[in-house]
Structures are given as C-alpha cells and as structure tokens.
C-alpha cells in the first residue's frame, strides 16, 4: 500500500480565525478591566466627597446646637441679635462651648458666621464677641463645589423664615397672640454630585 504523505496541522484560515477570536477576547477583557477600574475610582471619589460633606455638616451642627442668647455689639457700638439669618445664603450667631484648654482670658462664647461665596461654604469666627474697629473674622473654607445654600429659621409652628429676627412691625404671632420664637435651624444646600441636601437641627429658643 502506498503511504499517505498528508500532514496534520492548521490551515491559514483557521489560524486567522483563532487570532481574531483571541483579539476580540483581549479587547473585551481590556474594556471590562478599564470599566472596573473607572467604577472603583468613581466609588472612591464619591465616598471621599460624601465624607467631606459629612464633616462640613458635622461642624455646622456642632455650632448650631450650641446656639447662645448672647447678643453682641458691632464696631459702631450697635447691638446685634444673638442670631441673624439672611436671605442671601448667610447666617451669623453666638454659640457656647468654645473650648479653652489653655485657660486664656477670654469668653467661652464665640461668634461665628457662615456664608456662600464662589460656590464654597465659608465659616468665619471672631476672637472677641463685641467687635472693635479692627476686628476681622478668621475664615476657613468648609466645603467646595456647593451650587447653592439657604438657611431658614423655623419657629415653634414649623414655619420657615428666610430672615431672622422677624420684623417687629410685621406683628407675626400665633393664633393665641403669642410671639413666635425660634425652634430650629434648617439648611438646604445644592451640593454636587448628590443634589439637594437638607438638614434641620433643634436649638434653644432665641
């Protein structure tokens, strides 16, 4: 019998098909890996951003829940209320609990203020309560990338006021004729990437 001289192996077409399959699998694997890395980075960024927001809200809460009735005097000697809420995204008030571990000759009541500027929440505080002509607050950026923020004074009936103290000429009272008093501070902020965030804290009446 005549022996066969055929050899076993892959044809060129089969090799090309195999290379194509490997190329497609490699491309899909690369895209999947890249997408996984992007998702992980996004999660880390969002987690870090959430932690920044939480820290800012914690500082704000610490100040607000320690609201004091202590009024102050400005550089001109005019008396300012213990709490001032502005419809321009600002709030200023006196707070207790200003720690004094070095026992310096100062009050433990502190005057602080928050305002929205350049898409940032800025916290300011004064070293003295009654201000002199050269008294300037110390500022710190509490949170960046804030699209908007509003502060509201909430009275005992649950009404929200963009300004506080209330205008005495408005004669705003309850049905029983009692004067409205402050019950809580409400904060609404538009913060990227989470959108609207709302917090409310009960405070001592002022």
pLDDT tens-place string over residues 16-45? 788 888 888 888 888 887 777 776 777 787
> What pLDDT, in 10s, does the model give residues 74-105?
888 899 999 999 988 899 999 998 888 777 77
In a domain, 38, yes or no: no
Number of H helices, E strands in the chain: 1, 11
Q: Could you list the residue range(s) of the whole structural domain that residue 194 is in?
A: 61-202
pLDDT at 6: 56
Question: Which sign, positive or negative, has the C-alpha torsion 154, 138, 76, 62?
Answer: positive
Percent of all residues in the chain with a pLDDT value above 70, rounded to a whole number: 87
Distance CA 56, CA 29 (A): 41
Name the DSSP class of 35: H
In a domain, 102, yes or no: yes
Omega prior to 115 cis, within 30 of 0: no
In a domain, 79, yes or no: yes
In a domain, 39, yes or no: no
pLDDT at 27: 83
Q: Is the pLDDT of residue 131 over 90?
A: no
Query: Tell me, what CATH number does 81's domain have?
Result: 3.10.610.10
In a domain, 6, yes or no: no
In a domain, 117, yes or no: yes
Provide DSSP, 89-149.
Answer: TEEEEEES----TT--SS-S-EEEEEEEETTEEEEEEESSSS--TT---EEEEEEE-EEEE
The candidate with the shortest Cα–Cα distance to 121, out of 106, 97, 140, is 140
The candidate with the shortest Cα–Cα distance to 95, out of 109, 115, 108, 106, is 109
> What pLDDT, in 10s, does the model give residues 48-60?
999 999 999 999 9
Output the six-digit token pair for 89: 């995204």
Classified as helix, coil or strand, 11 is: coil
In a domain, 188, yes or no: yes
CA angle 26, 29, 31 (to 5 degrees): 110
Distance CA 126, CA 80 (A): 14
Distance CA 64, CA 42 (A): 33
pTM: 0.75
**Domain total for the chain?**
1
Distance CA 88, CA 80 (A): 18
Classified as helix, coil or strand, 151 is: strand
């Amino acid at each position: 019998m005549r022996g066969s001289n055929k050899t076993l192996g892959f044809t060129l077409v089969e090799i090309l098909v195999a290379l194509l399959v490997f190329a497609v699998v490699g491309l899909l694997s690369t895209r999947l890996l890249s997408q996984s890395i992007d998702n992980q980075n996004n999660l880390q960024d969002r987690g870090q951003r959430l932690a920044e927001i939480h820290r800012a809200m914690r500082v704000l809460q610490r100040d607000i829940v320690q609201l004091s009735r202590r009024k102050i005097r400005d550089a001109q000697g005019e008396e300012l209320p213990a709490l001032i809420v502005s419809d321009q995204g600002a709030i200023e008030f006196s707070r207790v609990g200003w720690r004094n571990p070095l026992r310096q000759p100062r009050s433990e009541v502190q005057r602080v203020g928050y305002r929205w500027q350049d898409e940032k929440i800025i916290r300011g505080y004064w070293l003295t309560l009654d201000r002199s002509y050269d008294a300037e607050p110390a500022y710190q950026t509490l949170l960046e990338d804030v699209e908007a923020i509003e502060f509201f004074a909430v009275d005992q009936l649950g009404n929200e006021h963009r300004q506080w103290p209330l205008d005495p000429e408005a004669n705003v009272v309850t049905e029983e004729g009692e004067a409205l008093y402050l019950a809580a501070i409400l904060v609404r902020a538009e913060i990227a990437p989470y959108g609207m965030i709302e917090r409310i804290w009960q405070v001592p009446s002022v």
